[in-house]
Structure 1
Amino acid sequence: MKKQDIVPYLFIAPAVILFAIFMAYPIIASFILSFQTSQGGEMVFNGIANYQRLISDQIFLKALGNTFLFLAIQVPIMLSLAIILSTCLNSALVKLKGIFRVSFFLPAVTSLVAYSIIFSVMLMEEGVINQVITSLGADRIPWLSHPTWAKVALITAITWRWVGYNMVIYLAALQNIPEELYEAASMDGASKIRQFFSITVPQLKPVILFTAVLSTIGTLQLFDEPFTLTGGGPSDSTLTIGMYLYQTGFRYFDFGYASAVAYVIVVLIGIMTFIQFKVTGDK
């Protein structure tokens, strides 16, 4: 091999080495670990016992149900709000667009832990939210101590943080839609609502798919918000698969079982992504 043929490989070698050490090796090691269990302080092969255990693990099944509940409710609400906000901010009738865009996007750059703590303080029994509610003559809401309201609080917090992020993505896509399409629709007598569903939404289809896939991956890996805001409670009502993985691996040190949980998440992400691509009809 000539010297000039080796030079390109030398440039990419650091990146390849770092990827192999910090990405490829942990992925392979974790997969092997998912078929092992600890006996006498040593990891021994136990076949698919960890995966069989998942089927009868009631806590895992509850965490799985909670995660899919958040996915089914929070993601559609968040993406719908993001599309509506981006459409409004793309309108020529709105003034001070820059201020509104920054304001809506600002939550996305705040610390996950910081905003979760702020929400937990606001939603506590004597927090500012309940103070406003009681001032209106209503009873306090047990935001963080009731299973249903804890889910509502978590969905609200996640939506507040990520709506602006998705809004900016949709806004960039909206600015690439030819204005002639709307002008032609207006000449044909199409209302703004008809234009939205017949032009805006179809033109945004690839971007909606992109944000839906990202949001699905993020929800299936949800950890920071429930860990900080509710701690998975009350009674595991907000426990997610990500939290259960953390507890299994780093609280109970059952790394083999935690690795099996991790690969279940990987499979679920692959399945959900495949379904989303099939539903939208895109290759």
Structure 2
Amino acid sequence: MAQTEKVQKTVAAFRVNAKKNIVTPKTAPYFFIGPALLLLVVFTVYPVISSLILSFQEVRGVEKTFVGFANYSRLFHDPIFYKSLLNTFEILIVQVPIMLFLSLLIAVGLHSSMVKAKAFFRISFFMPAITALVAASIVFMILLDEHFGLVNYFLSFFGVKPVHWLTSPFWAKASVILVMTWRWTGYNMVIFLAGLQNIPSELYEAASIDGAGKVKQFFMITIPQLKPVFIFTVVMSTIGTLQLFDEPFILTQGGPNSATMTITLYLYETGFKFFDFGYASAIAYVLVVITAVISWIQMKLVGE
């Protein structure tokens, strides 16, 4: 009996203390999400708002002067901005279709029951996506060296003269596209492979009974069933290419003659090389608008 009274007193005391305590069943969830929310505000929301305000200012040292839309007006009269934007779109138009075509082709091949050691090939194709880009770019710089590169050495056996891979405007852009395709084809291959594995096998069996061949099955079943995957890969690849920075920065530094200067590389140089942070912020927000508009158009074109 005494033990029961002791337990009741303990429970009553706990309830009294719980009322005084800030952490209650109703407030507990907010304490759990609080740290993540704080990090989101500090490292995402605040920089976004601060950058937007900065795009309307001119920064000289530690002094900031409000200049209205002067940075945006200057941007639309900047030939280097248009050049970098054109370079970005040229790379986007060429590289993304080639990469996605190769990704789909490899995914279909690895999905086939005729291929053995699938795990080995999947890992091999995916490895470039997790390889340190700086190390990979240095390797490509060695391979594509005009005088001592292995690629030109190999081409010389076929009577091909040395190609100016990193010093010619055309070939420098082609080199950037090559490295991007090498890096991201395996990544998209895994996404396509996941989509292929989710297509019901009954569809192919029914098509085979109706006399449809492999090619017809591919275009009438595989492609339509992969529509959501196509939408995702196209949109994400487009966004990634519009933000292209690493490859041209390491391989060509935007040269020669700004032939590989992308919009994000120009943004970086404006902000961290010339310390024109107000103008760089304006470039960033124009890029955000361009990315949003293109993504919206792509979604509309595919009927989503």
TM-score range, shorter chain: over 0.9
Distance 2:61 2:121 in 1: 60
Question: 1:211 offset after TM fit, Å?
Answer: 1.0
1:58 aligns with 2:67: no
**1:60-96 Cα distance to aligned partner (Å, 9 max, x none):** 1000000011111101110111011101100011111
Amino acid paired to 1:61: Y
1:229 aligns with 2:244: no
2:200 equivalent in structure 1: 178
Distance 2:38 2:171 in 1: 47
Question: 1:40 offset after TM fit, Å?
Answer: 7.0
The structure 1 residue matched to 2:112, chosen from 81, 86, 91, is 91
SS state at 1:4 partner: coil
The structure 1 residue matched to 2:301, chosen from 269, 279, 283, is 279
1:132 equivalent in structure 2: 154
Distance 2:248 2:61 in 1: 34
Question: 1:116 offset after TM fit, Å?
Answer: 1.2
1:123 aligns with 2:123: no
Distance 2:203 2:192 in 1: 18
1:190 aligns with 2:215: no
Distance 1:152 1:190 in 2: 40
Q: How many corresponding residue pairs?
A: 282
Alpha-carbon spacing, 1:3–1:197, altered in 2? closer, same or farther (3 Å): same
1:254 aligns with 2:270: no
Distance 1:188 1:231 in 2: 57
SS state at 1:29 partner: helix
Distance 1:100 1:2 in 2: 52
The structure 1 residue matched to 2:66, chosen from 41, 45, 60, is 45
The structure 2 residue matched to 1:20, chosen from 37, 41, 44, is 41
Question: 1:120 offset after TM fit, Å?
Answer: 1.1
SS state at 1:44 partner: strand
Alpha-carbon spacing, 1:100–1:4, altered in 2? closer, same or farther (3 Å): same
**1:197-227 Cα distance to aligned partner (Å, 9 max, x none):** 1111111110111111111111111000000
Structure 2: gaps spanning 5 or more residues? 1-21
Alpha-carbon spacing, 1:2–1:22, altered in 2? closer, same or farther (3 Å): closer
1:112 aligns with 2:133: yes
TM-score (norm 1): 0.97
Distance 1:159 1:186 in 2: 35
Divergent runs of 4+, >4 A: none
Distance 2:204 2:250 in 1: 45
Question: 1:180 offset after TM fit, Å?
Answer: 1.2
Amino acid paired to 1:112: L
SS state at 1:161 partner: helix
1:157 aligns with 2:179: yes
For the aligned residue pairs, the C-alpha RMSD in angstroms reads: 1.2
1:212 equivalent in structure 2: 234
Question: 1:188 offset after TM fit, Å?
Answer: 2.0
TM-score (norm 2): 0.90
Distance 1:127 1:192 in 2: 42
Aligned-pair identity in percent equals 56
1:9 equivalent in structure 2: 30
Amino acid paired to 2:230: I
Of the structure 1 ranges 186-195 and 77-86, higher mean CA displacement relative to structure 2 is found in: 186-195
Amino acid paired to 1:269: T
Question: 1:189 offset after TM fit, Å?
Answer: 2.2
**Structure with larger Rg:** 2
